[in-house]
Chain A
Amino acid sequence: MHELSIAVSLIEAAVEAAANEAGTVRTVHLRLGALSGVIAEALESAYQLARVGTPLERAELMIQPVPVVVRCRGCRTERELPMLDALWCPACGAAEEVVQGRELEIAALELET
């Protein structure tokens, strides 16, 4: 259950990003990769607790899931995977590396003025 410390970091990062902007944060848009090691539902629950008493007390969290994408080290073909398994290129058989899916980033803030 590391989602609580992730939620605290998330709020700190969002508050910092909002410091230069006018208005009140209404929604935090988060990009969450399937390989981030973070479970969306657990993070949502943790966020509800962590936001109390912060400037984000009334801000909602919108989580946008980011699927896993791997790229072949040989022919550079990319493909999307439901989960991390059998990382060999179907086209040429070479090993594949993860190029997308580790995201744990605030994409945008919705502010109200």
Chain B
Amino acid sequence: MVTTRIVEVRRQVLKQNDTVARELRQAFAEAGVTVISLVSSPGAGKTRFLEETLTRLRPSHAVAALVGDLATDHDAQRLSRSGAPVRQIVTGTVCHLEAAMIRDALRGWDWQELDFLFIENVGNLVCPASFDLGESQRAVLFSVTEGEDKPLKYPTIFNTADVAIITKIDLVGAAEFDRLAARQAVHRVRPGMTILEISAKTGEGMEQWLEYLVDHHERRAEGKT
């Protein structure tokens, strides 16, 4: 005779990813490495922004980057121009980075010596939301050409981010972008989140971003965050 029974399990589907992410986060904290991940749609200007960030931080801090890309190493090549060490993670058909990819990419690298490690996720505002990478801050970027309501269309990723960065602010006039409406949209889905407006091209807002990073790094070193 066939009998059926129900067993309660309550098991996280992404438990394995979460476990690896937790181990990474602890290792980063012990080594004093501040890890910042960047997420955005394709074309929001992540790579240009990161290149500028690496270039400006390099004189004062040990920095490096991991960059996820579906098929090419174009982004890694562009980032190498900053002079900072860069490693490419080719994800193939996978639309997001996972914690194990970060762990594997760090093998054989003296990442413990770093002050900052940046992780550029695959251009996508949906899939990366589910995967913890062990980062200490998640920055979500959107450009003025994407429209003010981007946060309302992708509330999940905006709600899980720590800082929002509006890129290509030099195009604010041409794009007829409403800065106030954009800030309100961010705060509708994540009240109080820090918002920075930057242009990697003109340098506008980059100083505030660097201050934000260094301040976060120092507070972490003092054990306040």
Binding site for B on A (CB under 8 A): 1-2, 5-6, 9-10, 12-14, 16-17, 21, 23, 26, 29-30, 35-38, 83-88, 95-96, 98, 104-113
Contact = CB atoms under 8 A, between A and B. Distances in A.
A23 to B, nearest CB: 7
A94 B64 CA distance: 39
A104 B94 contact: no
A109 B7 contact: yes
Interface of B: 2-17, 94-96, 98, 126-127, 129-131, 152, 155-157, 159, 188-192
Contacts of A37: 126-127, 129-130, 156-157
Contacts, number: 102
A96 to B, nearest CB: 7
17 contacts: A2-B95, A5-B94, A9-B13, A13-B16, A14-B11, A17-B7, A35-B155, A36-B130, A37-B127, A85-B189, A87-B190, A87-B191, A95-B192, A107-B8, A108-B8, A109-B9, A111-B6
B150 to A, nearest CB: 13
Given A2-B95, A96-B191, A104-B13, 13 more contacts: A2-B94, A12-B16, A13-B12, A26-B4, A35-B156, A85-B155, A85-B188, A87-B190, A95-B192, A109-B7, A110-B4, A110-B6, A112-B2
B95 A107 contact: no
B159 A84 contact: yes
Nearest to A25: B7
Contact of A86 (B14, B159, B188): B188
Nearest to A26: B4
Given A85-B188, A111-B7, A104 B12 contact: yes
B155 A106 contact: no
Given A84-B159, A85-B189, A9 B9 contact: no
B191 A21 contact: no
A113 B13 contact: no
A38 B129 CA distance: 9
A113 B8 contact: no
B9 A108 contact: yes
Nearest to B191: A95
Nearest to B124: A2
Contacts of A109: 6-7, 9
A47 B126 CA distance: 19
Contacts of B6: 29, 108-111
